[in-house]
Amino acid sequence: MKKELYVYIHIPFCYKKCPYCAFVSYEKHLNFLDNYVMALIKQIRNFDGEDYTVKTIYFGGGTPTVLKVKHIEKILKALEDAFNLKIEEMTIETIPNNVKSNYIKALKSLGFNRLSIGVQSFRDEKLKTLGRIHNSKDSIQAIETAFKYGFDNISIDLIYGIGDSLSTFEGELDFALDLPIKHISTYMLSIEERTRFFELLQNGKLNLPDDGLVSDLYLMLCEKLNKNGFEQYEISNFAKSGFYSKHNLAYWTYKEYVGFGVSAASFMDRKRLKVTDDLYKYIRNPTASTCVEEILNEEDLIKEMFILGLRLKKGVDLYEFKRLFGVDLLTYYKEKISKFLDLGFMKIENNRIALNGCKAFLVSNAIFSELI
Ligand SMILES: C[S@@+](CC[C@H](N)C(=O)[O-])C[C@H]1O[C@@H](n2cnc3c(N)ncnc32)[C@H](O)[C@@H]1O
Ligand code: SF4
C-alpha cells in the first residue's frame, strides 16, 4: 500500500520585505522566477515519489502568487508525474494585492480549493506600521473576489501585538467575522533577528505593547472567535466546522511531508531534511541542495509527537500513542504531567491528554520546554 504524503512548495519571493518577517524570501528578485521554477521542477522530478500518495499540496512563501499561471501549471505537472495524487486540499498563500479575478479563476481551474490571504490587519494605520503594501480595502476586495470566483475555503492571517489596544483588535475581529471566510490563523508578533523590527527594537525605536496586553489580546481573541463559530483547533488556528487545515494538521499529527524549494523542510523516515536557504545555490543545483538535519531516535519521536499533539485542542490520544510507540505517556512523563495537571494547565478526558484551554495555550511554550 502507498504511504500518505503531504507536499509543500516554497516560493521565496516577495515584492517588498516586511520589516518583521524572517521567512526566507527575497525582494527584487522576480527576474529569477523562470529559473527558480525550472529548478523546482528538477528537484521534484528527482524525488522518488512512486511509493506515495499525496493528500495535500501547499504553496507557501514568500508570496507564491508572484508566480504566473504558466509557472504553477508546470509545477503541478511535475508533481503529477512524480506522485500518485489524491488531493483533498490544495492551498496557495497570497497577499491581497494579487487576488484579481482572472488569476483567481485560473487558480480555481488548476485545482486550488483553499486560499490563504495575508490580510494581517483591517486597520490601515497598523498595516503601515507593519510595512505592508496593501490597505484594508484591498483585503476586503480580495476576500470578496476570491469568494465570488468560487473559493469557498478562504483563510486569513492576522497579526497582533503591535499598535493594538483591546478594543481596536476586537474591532478587527468583529470585522473579520462578517466576511465570507472559513479559517483564521492568528500570529502574535515575534521580533526575529535579522529583521528591520529587530534593529529598531535594539535602537529603542520600536514601540511594543507590554506582555500583559499581548496576553489579554490572545485571551480575548480566543474567546471571541470560539464564541462566534470559529473552533479553535490549534493554539493559534480557528476554523468553521469542517474547515480545519488538512495540510497543517498533517504537521501537528506527525505525518510525513516533503518540501520543495529554497528553505523547505521535509520529514520522512524519521529524518528531518532541509533545503538550502541560498537562492543562487539552489538554482544552480536543486537536486544537491537538501541536507539531513536530524535523524530522530525513539525518544525524540515520543517527545516531539507529544508536544505537537498538545498544540491541538483535542490533544493526544493515549491509546493511539501507546499503540504507535508502546509507551504509556502518563508513566513516561509521570512527574511533569502530574505537575501540569495540578496547576490546571493540562487535563485528561476520554483517554486524551490536552492543554486545558486558552490560559494553558498562552503558556504553552514554557510547558513544552519543560517536556523537552
Ligand atoms: C510566510 S507568511 C506568508 C503569507 C504572505 N507572504 C503574507 O505575508 O501575506 C505567513 C504568515 O506569517 C506571519 N508572520 C511572518 N513573520 C512574523 C512574525 N515575525 N511574527 C508573527 N507573525 C509573522 C504573517 O502573518 C504571515 O501572514
Ligand atoms: S510577511 Fe509575507 S509578504 Fe511579508 S516579507 Fe514575509 S513572506 Fe513576504
303-353 pLDDT, tens digit per residue, is: 999 999 999 999 999 999 999 889 999 999 999 999 999 999 999 999 999
Note whether residue 99 is domain-resident. yes
Size of the chain in residues: 372
219 lies in the same domain as 334: no
Residue bearing the CA closest to ligand 1, atom 14: 21
Kindly list the distances between the CA atom of residue 97 and the CA atoms of 106, 146, 200, 278, 361, in Å, as whole numbers in the listed order. Answer: 16, 12, 27, 27, 33
Grid cell digits, residue 216: 489579554
* Percentage of residues of the chain with pLDDT beyond 70: 100
Is the CB of 159 within 6 Å of ligand 2? Answer: no
The range of the structural domain enclosing residue 356 comes to: 299-371
Q: How far is the CA of 179 from the centre of ligand 1 (A)?
A: 21
Note whether residue 199 is domain-resident. yes
Note whether residue 268 is domain-resident. no
Domain count, the chain: 2
Determine how β-strand 290-295 pairs with β-strand 271-275. antiparallel
The amino acid occupying position 221 is L
Backbone CA torsion sign across 134, 137, 140, 143 = negative
Q: Counting ligands in written order, which one lies closest to the CA of residue 155?
A: 1
- pTM of the predicted protein model: 0.97
243 lies in the same domain as 304: no
CA 225/CA 227 separation, integer angstroms = 5
- pLDDT score recorded for residue 325: 86
Is the CB of 29 within 6 Å of ligand 2? Answer: no
Q: What does the mean pLDDT of the chain come to?
A: 97
Q: Counting ligands in written order, which one lies closest to the CA of residue 237?
A: 1
78 lies in the same domain as 19: yes
Cα 60 to chain centroid, rounded: 8
| 215-258 residue pLDDT tens | 999 999 999 999 999 999 999 999 999 999 999 999 999 999 99
Residue ending a domain, among 236, 252, 268, is 252
Residue bearing the CA closest to ligand 2, atom 4: 18
| Residue matched to cell numbers 478594543 | 167
Region 1-8 average pLDDT: 94
Is the CB of 24 within 6 Å of ligand 2? Answer: no
- pLDDT score recorded for residue 295: 96
- pLDDT score recorded for residue 1: 80
Region 47-59 average pLDDT: 95
245 lies in the same domain as 309: no
Atom nearest to 117 CA in ligand 1: 9
| 75-89 residue pLDDT tens | 999 999 999 999 999
Determine how β-strand 265-268 pairs with β-strand 271-275. antiparallel
Note whether residue 228 is domain-resident. yes
- H or E stretch at 104: helix 101-110
